[in-house]
Amino acid sequence: MMLSAVTRINRHTVMRVIDDIVVSCGGWIEGHTLFSNIAATFRFVLPASGLAGFALRVNALGVHIDAAGLDALAARSPGAGQAGDAEVSGALSMTFLHDEPDMRREIPAVPG
């Protein structure tokens, strides 16, 4: 399940709180990928019974999941043909809206 979202919340805060939300909903983080200070992708696993709570808490944080993502969450929630204890793998791709310049990282020269 692929979810897309945007936020104006500080990326450091969002990353920590998203980790906490996933764990508190009974799931775990498989990993994340950072794309400068522009975007981040979280790979997670949640029980189907935790999907609705995940969506509510993420939205309350100020991370707004798009309509297609909300539909995907609803389709995999219990009562939509999914058992409450079924594991659901997903990815949340977030874009951070801010006025900061792109982060630049020095790439070391490779000898030879």
| pLDDT given at position 105 | 64
Measured over the CA atoms of residue 59, residue 64, residue 42 and residue 88, the dihedral's sign is positive
Residue 103 scores a pLDDT above 90: no
Is the pTM higher than 0.85? no
| pLDDT given at position 84 | 65
Q: What are the CB-based long-range contacts (under 8 Å, 24+) for 70-77?
A: 72/1, 72/2, 72/3, 73/1, 73/3, 76/1, 76/48, 76/51, 77/48, 77/49, 77/51, 77/52
Q: Distance between CA 97 and CA 88 in Å, rounded?
A: 28
In this structure, the dihedral spanned by the alpha carbons of residues 85, 91, 93 and 94, taken in order and rounded to 10 degrees, is: 30
Q: State pLDDT tens for residues 42-53.
A: 999 999 999 999
Q: State pLDDT tens for residues 5-40.
A: 999 998 889 999 999 999 999 999 999 998 888 999
Q: State pLDDT tens for residues 55-88.
A: 999 999 999 999 999 999 988 988 756 666 889 9
- Which contiguous run of DSSP H or E holds residue 6? strand 2-7
